Amino acid sequence: MKLEKKIGQLFLLGFQGASIDNNHPITEDIRKRNLGGVILFDRLLAKKQAQNNILNPGQLKTLTMSLQKYASESLLIAVDQEGGSVRRLKPESGFPATASAAELGESNDSSRTAIHAACTANSLLEVGINYNLAPVVDLNIFPENPVIGKIQRSFSDNANRVIPHAAIWIREHQKRNILSCLKHFPGHGSSKTDSHLGFTDISNTWQKEELIPFKKIIAQTTSAPVESVMLGHLFHTDFDTTHPTSLSPIVVTSLLRNSFGFKGVIITDDIQMKAITDKYGLEESVYLALAAGVDMIIVGNNLEYDPGFLKRIIPGILQAIKEKRIPEGHIHAAFERIIRMKEILQSTN
């Protein structure tokens, strides 16, 4: 396969609309540029639209079937469906309500967590979504954290409580061939600011315990380990004095890949988030992430709408490879990991 086609697989892209046709920009990216996957949103924040990809179960199933029809490789169709307030499939649109991670952690009932995780996974399966960007395994270090604690996304401030609930979540999704994603490495629970909106420094608030859920879940010797880990856009001088964690080879390759032994797909949080684009710009952030050893990059097209992104970035990446800014071997290795993850979707449990 040509290098540019492999590069296309390294992106998870958002798009506008509740339906697509042959002329839609996302269709062109799938057919011509071998796009690896899409991410769905209920709203389009960039255009202040209250509705976007998700209207109701019937419409959503038609949309996902249309998307898969255009893909030569199996297409990842991703969503943030954590439960509680962070859910793109909402009850008012005809989807079942599920508890937040904080509610499940507080009750500490494994059966209840399994029921809610199974309900979530079944809902995704029925509408053709195969990749849930969850569970959150951040520790609730700072309860007033605007992006984690305050909106009840963390199971607990105790790693020993987070781990079993997250493991149940993953297992119930795997039973239905839905991929999962641990987030936000190396821990977003202690931050006092929102990385969607700007620079987020955790140097003085982060605690080593925040690594425990990631390390222990990754180390679990099960037949189907967690498929992916999402990087937070966080700055911590003890890790890297220059780059945020999502762009740092120290964090991505030395810590997560080598020290923790993670063999699955490493994916960024939305690369359009202001925590990094305010400093580096979109294109430079992509080059730095790939150079650091990231496998897959989310471009939500929700905070900013940029339908021509993939067409523009692939030649830029090829040039960065030519200039030795990105090792070509990183692209081949990332492609192979993504393909292996997609092969899980074809298996039967």
Tens of pLDDT, residue by residue over 222-274, are 545 799 999 999 999 999 999 999 999 999 999 999 999 999 999 999 999 98
Question: Domain holding 166: CATH number?
Answer: 3.20.20.300
| Closest among 311, 333, 270, 326 to 34, alpha carbons compared | 311
Radius of gyration of the chain (CA): 19
- 122 assigned to some structural domain: yes
Q: What average pLDDT does this structure show over 148-152?
A: 96
- 141 assigned to some structural domain: yes
- 104 assigned to some structural domain: yes
pLDDT at 147: 94
User: pLDDT class for 133, splitting at 50, 70, 90?
Assistant: very high
- 322 assigned to some structural domain: yes
Specify the number of domains making up the chain. 1
146 with 157: CB under 8 angstroms? no
Task: State the burial class of residue 151 (Cβ atoms within 10 Å of its Cβ: 0-12, 13-18, 19+).
Answer: middle
Secondary structure letter of residue 296 according to DSSP:
B
pLDDT at 348: 47
**Region for 177 from its dihedrals, namely left if φ exceeds 0, alpha if ψ lies in -120 to 50, beta otherwise:** left
Helices (H), 38-158: 57-69, 101-107, 110-127
- 256 assigned to some structural domain: yes
User: Cα–Cα–Cα angle for 191, 163, 209, nearest 5°?
Assistant: 45
Q: What average pLDDT does this structure show over 171-176?
A: 96
pLDDT at 197: 65
Tens of pLDDT, residue by residue over 92-112, are 999 999 999 999 999 999 999
Would you say how long the chain is, in residues? Answer: 349
pLDDT at 239: 96
**Region for 289 from its dihedrals, namely left if φ exceeds 0, alpha if ψ lies in -120 to 50, beta otherwise:** alpha
Q: Give the tokens for residue 157.
A: 């401030």
Strand-pairing partners, residue 229, are 182, 266
Tens of pLDDT, residue by residue over 109-122, are 999 999 999 999 99
- 3 assigned to some structural domain: no
Strand-pairing partners, residue 12, are 37, 298
- 1 assigned to some structural domain: no
pLDDT at 196: 75
Distance CA 305, CA 298 (A): 13
φ and ψ at 40, to 5 degrees?
-105, 145
CA 127 vs. chain centroid, Å, equals 19
Is the pLDDT confidence value at 347 over 80?
Answer: no
Average pLDDT, the chain: 95
User: pLDDT class for 221, splitting at 50, 70, 90?
Assistant: low
Q: What average pLDDT does this structure show over 287-313?
A: 97
Domain region containing 256: 9-345
Instruction: Kindly state the percentage of the chain with pLDDT values over 70.
Output: 97
pLDDT at 194: 67
Secondary structure letter of residue 245 according to DSSP:
G
Tens of pLDDT, residue by residue over 229-242, are 999 999 999 999 99
- 242 assigned to some structural domain: yes
SS3 201: strand
Tens of pLDDT, residue by residue over 22-76, are 999 999 999 999 999 999 999 999 999 999 999 999 999 999 999 999 998 899 9
Q: How far is CA 73 from CA 35, 217, 248, in A?
A: 9, 29, 30
pLDDT at 349: 41
